[in-house]
């Protein structure tokens, strides 16, 4: 540790005495600002040329053979379908918020596509179905080009050397995963674009911190908010960038609060509200607006109906469930189906075995079970809660309302439904359901009909109104679950009484009334479309999105664990064509992703080493360099972690393409680390130091040693090597990225860099 | 300190009758005694069992049982089985748990006193521990939590002692308490993996202090290094050693085969005493009769029998069968044997001295003929298997009939993993895949059981692009009439070393823990623990009910205190940032910040990680966090007591608070102790509507023994 370059701790700037007088005089700042201007002027042309060059390169890379394959590829199945639904104004359900799909649909609308095609299977031909797919793909591809340009601008605004800016953007440009993903009709390209817009705007905003409340300050602050709102409205993953900006803003605010900054509480409150409005209210408004447009467009009943409540379905035109709805009267014979498992309540003359295999004893009564296909034994008659068994005209005219007490008679056996404190056959904690002869044990045959949404619809109807059936005597709900009885129960589904009355799986739906054809009756009556306040519609849909997202746990052959993403153990086969032996196989650029991973490791190592040595009074890194490395590099580092780590705690099915935003962040971090490793010094300061009137009380906290980065020849050679490796790897993997040309078996095997890559046509 | 000794003794003496009251009652199996009682018997019998928890607490239970002459023959069966007339020393086993629960009371007192807090505050915390219903109920039965809690409390106590001596490093006391902490950590984590949370707590605290040492330039680098290494040895090395040692003893004790066999791999099984030792020639030649075992699951042997699939191809079933059976035998044939021109390689001369035998080598194409239903052969084709109905799965059957030589769908390529091509297949050693060439799929089995028509045996299918572990097979036994036994090597299962067993057990425990997913009527989510939303029914009979419910007053106090702590610490931070002068003495503020911060962190570490667990959780998982929370309450009360100038008023304040908790304790005592109760009190005690202890089971005052007509009917 006796390296002479290590300096002992300087006098810290933040001591009380220093706080009184500014560390630098007004003249110094003027001089620095002048230097800055000069520097910018010198650099300007170079930057323009490089920026245009990388944009042109990226355009070529993104649009190369965009018309190929002229077939449905991977998730175009979903997003193409959704786009069509928008154009046909048919209600659908998807776990993502609407903005991304709305933008795709807008493109479709502008080019005059009518949304007729269903995008049923991967590999179906677009040409045969007359889909203007090239135009549709142009939009994501164009955003991919803009993303590359944005990466360049972000690096430039962050004050990195020209060569680093170009290199970083080029690395992003030549990433196979981004190219493969972002030129197809999917959401990722749109989302990455808005993430980068947000990051760019926030960096611009931060650089204006000494001109607080100036016009451009407000502009970039609101741009950040708008970016957040748009990102969030595309996928819930947008929450990660919201968190990242949120943390940065909190750190920033905490520093402003510091008494040594000299801000009055009033002044601070203004800062606080400015950010709250721009970064919370604005995104929320954008998010809600997207849903508003979503509902405004989708007015026809469609495949999304089944996810929504009956009240919601009522707001759609031509709703099929609406057509099935009929009021239920006493003495009607109905079928009841369980909403979650789709089985019908059923009984027959078989009895529960007196003694189960595990030694428990049953009531030996008739079985009540769930059956998938309704039959003659699935009809139940609704009886009023009177001991009189005979039909009574007075009752027969009455409909059944929320909280009414009824009895159910099984038509096939003429016995009455009952439950009692006897353990059910499969779950000993739940109660057994059985039937008894009419007239017996009256009190135990009473059930209360509890409707799901009594405020909206107070009458028990078929089709529409889900209900729970509570047993009056023992307080259990009629319930079933996907477990089948053994042979004595013909393998039918176990039905029992659930003690937890509030479970969502307690809901049943009455399906049919014997002798009445609901559709015919309803067709004869004029149907009206109801309305529903926007906020309630939104809250309902948002709830369904959350629960559905959490429920996406069905395994998929190409799913992967987050741990395997950065090392690319496995890719995803997007598309393949047997005749020509071509395929699209999504993997990242092996060079870039591993370097990205290395940069994460190097960053953490350097950061920790610096932290530990500073704690011991040794400062190994120079002021401005360290400042940039910690603040800007740290921001990229945080962005990367926040776009990657949360996936580890997600229970849903995950895919390699969920890593793409994190991959872009890792490239920016890589740029920062490469500058730290290969370029001497850093261009600093880059923030605008000229203070405006209201910021007079602000103290400069950045270290004001003006400094210019000096990339030497070695650094340029190193950077060139990195870039050429990336390009070489990109070209090597290109046949799998663009889906052409076809490869022979040997070539396929050659391209199998990791044994886990399950490429097609490897034999 | 003499006053403290007196308080400790009094506390212990008061706790004994309160906690031991009716401890033998009921003389029946209560709640998880089903498991842990049974495990104690397994240790005494030496039979291997499998459980998700590490062994220390269970071994200690078994030790108690052993000392009180339990012979291990009781079948715990289900909750409610009677102990009377059996040799189970259930009273003694419970007594030990109760005693550990009693020790928790003085432990909390000493911990707070050691941390420098006042006697009234420490006594207050100790009384909260004593009058906490769930701590009491849970340490009355043969469960693991009493052991776990005591080790956790011991760790916190030792750590407080260690911190007290931190300014005199490397003295005897310093070393003693540092190793005592490590000992506590090791024991806690050897009882339940929840002990890892305690490790995290102590780890963070250690890092905090070590960071301070590193920044202190008076501490030389050498000295810092010594500090660092001492902590690594005591707080990491020692716990690991204890943990591993527990498993070593565990595996030494359970040397016989037993109920756990079906969970473990064949290698592990054959390391247990009581298995028939399999000895088999290691060389496999064509024409041998073999039994083939699946390595990815414990489903057993590749099996076929004379029943057909009811669906799909309707050909003969192929399954996995866990036990040895004639139907597990297959004959290995060379796939292109019909091709006359093919020369038999002269590998080894048969015992008749004229037939040449050929070894089976990796990469060769074979057929497997089922011995009993000959000439049916292992066969696969483009049909969906009965259970795995995804595109990449193909059905596997046994197919063939006399005068038909079979077709190319009977051909399988043997492909060993980790050995070169053309290496010889060795019984009990080579792990290989069987690749079906026409469907390019590998013979596979998952943990799916066929329905009744398949006799509940495990499904076998052929999978395309499957993960390798579940497509691995191994030949267990080989026989060939002509194989010259004197020229081949005999082999048997290699005995698993301790480390192999250790590793396998941990994989199994981890998976079993994550698989505990099915819903349980008394499970609860961590968010519900804070407000004590749900309890657990432990045992019930004839109008008596043991129901795990905390003392709501204490639960709610802990929750409120934690939130107040968070708000206050943010508040103080904010004042500091704005440069507002504090009226507190800085040292005092620092002292309370540190103490409260430590226990709040301990609470958070013992509580928050449960949110990440997908498995079923119960109220008793909250108990370690609750203990830390009570200590936090103690610290907070100590801070409040600073306001009382007069000593007596401090005591009055503390005892008033305690009285409220004690009232609540006695109110719920009938549920904690399983005493008779009446319906009126029960309904009055139904403070939250979610508590499902079921008041209807208790008779109203004056109407004892009201026979329920419903039950009479049954």
How distant is the Cα of B318 from the closest Cα of chain A, in angstroms?
A: 23
**Per-domain boundaries in chain B:** 2-30+89-143+518-711, 145-246, 278-492
If one counts every other C-beta atom within 10 angstroms of the C-beta of residue A42, the result is: 10
| Residues contacting residue B297 through CB under 8 Å, at least 6 positions apart | B320, B445, B446, B447, B458, B470
How distant is the Cα of B522 from the closest Cα of chain A, in angstroms?
A: 10
| Residues contacting residue B560 through CB under 8 Å, at least 6 positions apart | none
* Best A121, A340, A497, A557 residue to mutate vs chain B (most B CBs within 10 Å): A557
Given a cut of 90, whether residue B86 has pLDDT beyond it is no
pLDDT at residue number A702: 54
More confident residue, B86 or A710: B86
CB contact under 8 A, B465 and A557: yes
CATH number of B278-492: 2.80.10.50
CB contact under 8 A, B579 and A259: yes
Taking the C-alpha atoms of residue A245 and residue A233, their distance in angstroms, rounded to an integer, is 16
Cβ atoms of A617 and A517 within 8 Å: the answer is no
Cβ atoms of A131 and A656 within 8 Å: the answer is no
For residue B144, name the pLDDT band (cuts at 50, 70, 90).
very high
pLDDT at residue number A10: 42
Q: For residue A364, what is the nearest residue in chain B, using CA coordinates?
A: B714
**Is residue B212 less than 8 Å (CB to CB) from chain A?**
no
CB contact under 8 A, A259 and B465: no
pLDDT at residue number A120: 87
Given a cut of 90, whether residue A724 has pLDDT beyond it is yes
pLDDT at residue number B130: 95
**CA B73 remoteness from chain centre:** 24
Q: For residue A502, what is the nearest residue in chain B, using CA coordinates?
A: B690
Given a cut of 70, whether residue B341 has pLDDT beyond it is no
* Best B31, B77, B215, B447 residue to mutate vs chain A (most A CBs within 10 Å): B215
DSSP, collapsed to helix, strand or coil, labels residue B685 as: coil
pLDDT at residue number B279: 83
Taking the C-alpha atoms of residue A636 and residue A255, their distance in angstroms, rounded to an integer, is 20
Taking the C-alpha atoms of residue A453 and residue A312, their distance in angstroms, rounded to an integer, is 12
Span of A154-168, A205-219, B466-480 with lowest mean pLDDT: B466-480
More confident residue, A237 or B238: B238
Query: What value of ipTM does the predicted structure carry?
Result: 0.78
Q: Which of A361, A346, A365 is nearest to A490 (CA)?
A: A346
Taking the C-alpha atoms of residue B56 and residue B242, their distance in angstroms, rounded to an integer, is 9
Query: Out of B217, B614, B710, whose CB is closest to A651?
Result: B614
Q: What is the mean pLDDT of residues A728-743?
A: 91
Taking the C-alpha atoms of residue A693 and residue A688, their distance in angstroms, rounded to an integer, is 14
CB contact under 8 A, A254 and B577: yes
Given a cut of 70, whether residue A12 has pLDDT beyond it is no
* Residues of chain A contacting residue B208, judged by C-beta atoms under 8 Å apart: none
pLDDT at residue number A17: 43
* Residues of chain B contacting residue A260, judged by C-beta atoms under 8 Å apart: 579
Q: What is the mean pLDDT of residues A116-136?
A: 89
Interface of A with B (CB under 8 A): 254, 257-260, 265, 361, 363, 420-422, 429-430, 487, 499-500, 557, 612, 615-617, 649, 651, 758, 763
Cβ atoms of B149 and B105 within 8 Å: the answer is no
pLDDT at residue number A3: 41
Summarised one tens digit per residue, pLDDT across range A500-509 is 888 888 889 8
CB contact under 8 A, A615 and B211: yes
Given a cut of 50, whether residue A20 has pLDDT beyond it is no
* Residues of chain B contacting residue A420, judged by C-beta atoms under 8 Å apart: 710
* Best B578, B614, B615, B690 residue to mutate vs chain A (most A CBs within 10 Å): B578
Summarised one tens digit per residue, pLDDT across range A559-579 is 888 999 999 888 899 998 888
How distant is the Cα of B461 from the closest Cα of chain A, in angstroms?
A: 16
Given a cut of 80, whether residue A134 has pLDDT beyond it is yes
Query: Out of B214, B579, B710, whose CB is closest to A616?
Result: B214
Cβ atoms of B321 and B327 within 8 Å: the answer is yes
Span of A189-203, B20-34, B315-329, B577-591 with lowest mean pLDDT: B577-591
CB contact under 8 A, B577 and A429: no
DSSP A509: E
What does the block give as tokens for A291?
């849903």
Mean confidence (pLDDT) of chain A? 87
| Residues contacting residue B465 through CB under 8 Å, at least 6 positions apart | A557, A758, B392
What does the block give as tokens for B654?
């503390």
Q: Which of A683, A687, A678, A652 is nearest to A599 (CA)?
A: A678
Query: Out of A265, A361, A758, whose CB is closest to B465?
Result: A758
**Per-domain boundaries in chain A:** 3-14+27-293+566-751, 324-526
Euclidean distance between the first and the last CA atom of chain B, given in angstroms as a whole number = 64
How distant is the Cα of B206 from the closest Cα of chain A, in angstroms?
A: 16
For residue B702, name the pLDDT band (cuts at 50, 70, 90).
low
* Residues of chain A contacting residue B612, judged by C-beta atoms under 8 Å apart: 649
Given a cut of 50, whether residue A685 has pLDDT beyond it is yes
CB contact under 8 A, A557 and B390: yes
- CATH top-level class for A324-526? mainly beta
* Residues of chain A contacting residue B579, judged by C-beta atoms under 8 Å apart: 259-260
DSSP letter for each residue of A159-195: T--HHHHHHHHHHHHT-HHHHHHHTSSSSHHHHHHHH
CB contact under 8 A, B465 and A500: no
Summarised one tens digit per residue, pLDDT across range B519-548 is 787 888 999 999 999 899 898 888 888 999
Taking the C-alpha atoms of residue B117 and residue B111, their distance in angstroms, rounded to an integer, is 9
**CA A348 remoteness from chain centre:** 47
Taking the C-alpha atoms of residue A609 and residue B326, their distance in angstroms, rounded to an integer, is 66
Q: What are phi and psi of B659, to 5 degrees?
A: -60, -40
Given a cut of 60, whether residue A16 has pLDDT beyond it is no
For residue A21, name the pLDDT band (cuts at 50, 70, 90).
very low
Q: What is the mean pLDDT of residues A357-375?
A: 85
Summarised one tens digit per residue, pLDDT across range B101-129 is 999 999 999 999 999 999 999 999 999 99
CB contact under 8 A, A361 and B714: yes
The number of C-beta contacts closer than 8 angstroms across A and B is: 38
**Is residue B217 less than 8 Å (CB to CB) from chain A?**
yes
Q: For residue B214, what is the nearest residue in chain A, using CA coordinates?
A: A616
* Residues of chain B contacting residue A763, judged by C-beta atoms under 8 Å apart: 440
Task: Enter the pTM of the model.
Answer: 0.81
């Amino acid at each position: 540790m006796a390296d002479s370059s290590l300096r002992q701790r300087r006098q810290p700037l933040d001591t009380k005495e220093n706080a009184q007088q500014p560390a630098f005089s007004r003249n110094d700042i003027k001089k620095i600002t002048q230097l800055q201007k000069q520097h910018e002027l010198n650099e300007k042309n170079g930057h323009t040329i490089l920026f245009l060059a990388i944009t042109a390169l990226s355009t070529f890379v993104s649009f190369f053979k965009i018309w190929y394959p002229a077939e449905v590829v991977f998730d175009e199945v979903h997003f193409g379908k959704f786009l069509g639904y928008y154009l046909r104004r048919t209600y659908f359900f998807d776990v993502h918020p609407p903005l991304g799909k709305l933008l795709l649909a807008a493109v479709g609308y502008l080019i005059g596509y009518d949304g007729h095609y269903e995008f049923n299977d991967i590999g179906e031909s677009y040409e045969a179905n007359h889909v203007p797919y090239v135009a549709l793909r142009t939009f994501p591809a164009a955003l991919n080009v803009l993303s590359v340009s944005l990466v360049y601008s972000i690096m430039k605004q962050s004050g990195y050397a020209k060569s680093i800016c170009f290199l970083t953007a080029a690395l992003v440009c030549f990433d196979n995963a981004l190219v493969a993903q972002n030129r197809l009709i999917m959401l990722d390209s749109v989302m990455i674009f808005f993430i980068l817009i947000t990051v760019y705007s926030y960096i611009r905003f931060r650089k204006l911190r000494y001109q607080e409340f100036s016009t451009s300050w407000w502009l970039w602050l609101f741009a950040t908010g708008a970016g957040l709102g748009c990102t969030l409205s595309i996928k819930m993953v947008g929450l990660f960038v919201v968190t990242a900006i949120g943390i940065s803003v909190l750190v920033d605010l905490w520093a402003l609060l510091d008494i040594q900054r000299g801000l009055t509480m009033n002044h601070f409150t203004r800062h606080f509200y400015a950010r709250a409005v721009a970064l919370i209210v604005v995104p929320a408004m954008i998010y809600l607006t997207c849903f508003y447009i979503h509902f405004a467009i989708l007015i026809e009943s469609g495949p999304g109906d089944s996810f929504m409540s009956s009240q919601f379905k009522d707001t759609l035109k031509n709703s099929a469930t609406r057509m099935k709805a009929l009021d239920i009267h006493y003495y009607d014979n109905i079928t009841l189906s369980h909403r979650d498992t789709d089985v019908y309540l059923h009984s027959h003359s078989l009895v529960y075995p007196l003694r189960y295999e595990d030694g428990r004893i049953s009531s030996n009564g008739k079985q009540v079970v769930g059956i998938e296909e309704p039959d003659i034994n699935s009809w139940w008659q609704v009886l009023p809660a009177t001991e009189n068994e005979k039909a009574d005209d007075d009752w027969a005219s009455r409909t059944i309302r929320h909280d009414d007490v009824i009895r159910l008679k099984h038509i096939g056996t003429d016995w009455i439904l009952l439950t009692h404190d006897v353990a059910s056959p499969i779950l000993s904690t739940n109660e057994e359901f059985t039937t008894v002869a009419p007239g017996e044990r009256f009190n135990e045959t009473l059930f209360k009909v509890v409707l799901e949404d009594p405020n909206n619809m107070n009458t028990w109807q078929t089709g529409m109104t889900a209900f729970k059936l509570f047993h009056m005597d023992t307080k259990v709900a009629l319930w079933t679950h996907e477990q089948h009885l053994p042979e004595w129960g013909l393998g039918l589904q176990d039905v029992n009484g659930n003690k937890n009355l509030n479970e969502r799986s307690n809901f049943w739906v009455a399906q049919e009334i014997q002798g009445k054809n609901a559709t015919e009756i309803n067709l004869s009556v004029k149907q009206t479309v109801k309305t529903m306040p926007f906020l309630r519609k939104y809250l309902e849909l948002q709830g369904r999105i959350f629960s559905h997202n959490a429920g996406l746990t069905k395994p998929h052959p190409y799913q992967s664990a987050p741990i395997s993403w950065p090392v690319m153990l496995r890719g995803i086969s997007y598309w393949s064509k047997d005749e020509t032996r071509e395929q699209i196989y999504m993997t990242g650029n092996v060079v870039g992703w591993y370097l990205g991973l290395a940069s994460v490791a190097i960053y953490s190592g350097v950061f920790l080493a610096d932290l530990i040595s500073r704690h011991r009074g040794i400062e190994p890194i120079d002021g401005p360099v360290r400042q940039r490395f910690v603040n800007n590099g740290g921001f990229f580092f945080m962005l990367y972690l926040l776009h990657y780590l949360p996936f580890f705690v997600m229970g849903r099915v995950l895919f390699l393409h969920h890593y793409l935003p994190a991959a872009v962040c890792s490239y920016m971090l890589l740029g920062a680390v490469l500058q730290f490793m290969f370029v001497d010094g850093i261009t600093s300061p880059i923030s605008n130091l000229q203070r405006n009137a209201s910021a007079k009380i602000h103290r400069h906290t950045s270290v004001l040693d003006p400094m210019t980065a000096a990339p030497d020849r070695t650094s340029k050679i190193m950077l060139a090597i990195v870039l050429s490796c990336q390009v070489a790897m990109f070209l090597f993997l290109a046949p799998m990225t663009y889906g052409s040309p076809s490869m022979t078996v040997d070539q396929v095997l050659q391209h199998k860099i990791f044994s886990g890559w399950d490429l097609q046509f490897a034999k | 300190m003499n006053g403290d000794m007196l308080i400790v003794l009094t506390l212990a003496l008061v706790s004994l009758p309160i906690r031991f009251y009716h401890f033998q009652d009921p003389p029946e199996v209560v709640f998880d005694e089903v498991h842990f009682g049974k495990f104690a018997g397994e240790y005494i019998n030496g039979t291997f069992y499998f459980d998700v928890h590490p062994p220390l607490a269970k071994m200690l239970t078994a030790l108690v049982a052993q000392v009180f002459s339990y012979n291990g023959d009781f079948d715990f069966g289900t909750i409610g089985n009677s102990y009377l007339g059996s040799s189970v020393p259930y009273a003694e086993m419970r007594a030990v748990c109760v005693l550990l629960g009693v020790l928790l009371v003085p432990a909390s007192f000493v911990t707070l006193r050691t941390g420098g807090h006042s006697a009234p505050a420490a006594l207050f915390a100790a009384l909260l521990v004593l009058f906490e219903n769930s701590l009491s109920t849970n340490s009355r039965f043969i469960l693991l939590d009493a052991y776990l809690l005591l080790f956790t409390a011991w760790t916190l106590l030792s750590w407080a002692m260690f911190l007290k001596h931190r300014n005199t490093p490397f003295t005897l006391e310093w070393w003693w308490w540092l190793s005592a902490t490590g000992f506590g950590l090791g024991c806690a984590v050897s009882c339940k993996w929840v002990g890892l949370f305690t490790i995290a707590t102590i780890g963070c605290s250690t890092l905090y202090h070590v960071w301070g040492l590193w920044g202190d330039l008076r501490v030389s680098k050498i000295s810092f290094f010594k500090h660092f290494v001492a902590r690594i040895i005591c707080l990491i090395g020692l716990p690991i050693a204890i943990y591993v040692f527990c498993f070593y003893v565990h595996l030494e004790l359970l040397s016989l085969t037993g109920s756990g066999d079906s969970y473990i791999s064949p290698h592990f099984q054959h390391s247990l005493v009581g298995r028939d030792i399999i000895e088999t020639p290691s060389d496999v030649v064509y024409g041998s009769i073999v039994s083939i075992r699946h390595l990815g699951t414990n489903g057993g042997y590749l099996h076929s029998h004379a029943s057909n699939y009811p669906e799909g191809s309707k050909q003969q079933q192929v399954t996995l069968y866990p036990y040895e059976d004639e139907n597990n035998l297959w004959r290995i044939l060379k796939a292109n044997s019909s091709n006359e021109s093919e020369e038999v390689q002269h590998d080894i001369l048969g015992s008749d001295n004229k037939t040449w035998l050929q070894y089976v080598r990796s990469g060769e194409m074979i057929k497997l003929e089922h011995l009993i239903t000959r000439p049916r052969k292992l066969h696969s084709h483009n049909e969906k298997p009965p259970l795995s109905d995804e595109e990449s799965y193909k059905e596997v059957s046994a197919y063939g009939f006399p005068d038909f030589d079979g077709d190319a769908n009977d051909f399988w390529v043997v492909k060993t993993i980790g050995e070169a091509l053309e290496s010889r297949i060795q019984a009990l050693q080579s792990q290989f895949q069987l690749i079906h060439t026409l469907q390019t799929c590998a013979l596979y089995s998952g943990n799916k059981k066929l329905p009744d028509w398949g006799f509940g045996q495990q499904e076998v299918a052929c999978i395309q692009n499957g993960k390798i572990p579940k497509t691995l097979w191994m030949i267990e036994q080989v026989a060939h009439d002509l194989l010259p036994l004197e020229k081949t090597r005999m082999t048997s299962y290699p005995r698993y070393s301790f480390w192999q067993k250790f590793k396998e057990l941990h994989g199994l425990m981890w998976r079993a823990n994550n698989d505990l997913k099915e819903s349980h009527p008394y499970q609860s989510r961590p968010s519900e623990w804070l407000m004590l939303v749900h309890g657990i029914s432990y045992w019930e009979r004839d109008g008596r009910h043991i129901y795990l419910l905390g003392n709501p007053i204490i639960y709610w106090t802990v929750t409120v205190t934690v939130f107040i702590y968070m708000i206050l610490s943010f508040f103080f931070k904010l004042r500091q940032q704005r440069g507002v002068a504090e009226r507190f003495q800085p040292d005092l503020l620092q002292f309370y910040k540190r103490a409260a911060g430590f226990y709040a962190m301990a609470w958070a570490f013992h509580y928050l990680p449960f949110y990440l667990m997908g498995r079923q959780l119960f109220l008793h998982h909250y108990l370690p966090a609750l203990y830390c929370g009570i200590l936090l309450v103690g610290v907070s009360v100590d801070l409040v007591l600073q306001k009382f100038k007069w000593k007596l008023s401090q005591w009055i304040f503390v005892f008033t608070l305690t009285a409220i908790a004690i009232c609540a304790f006695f109110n719920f005592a009938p549920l904690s102790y399983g005493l008779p109760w009446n319906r009126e009190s029960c309904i009055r005690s139904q403070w939250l509507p979610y508590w499902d202890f079921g008041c209807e089971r208790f008779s109203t005052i004056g109407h004892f023994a009201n026979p329920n007509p419903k039950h009479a009917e049954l």
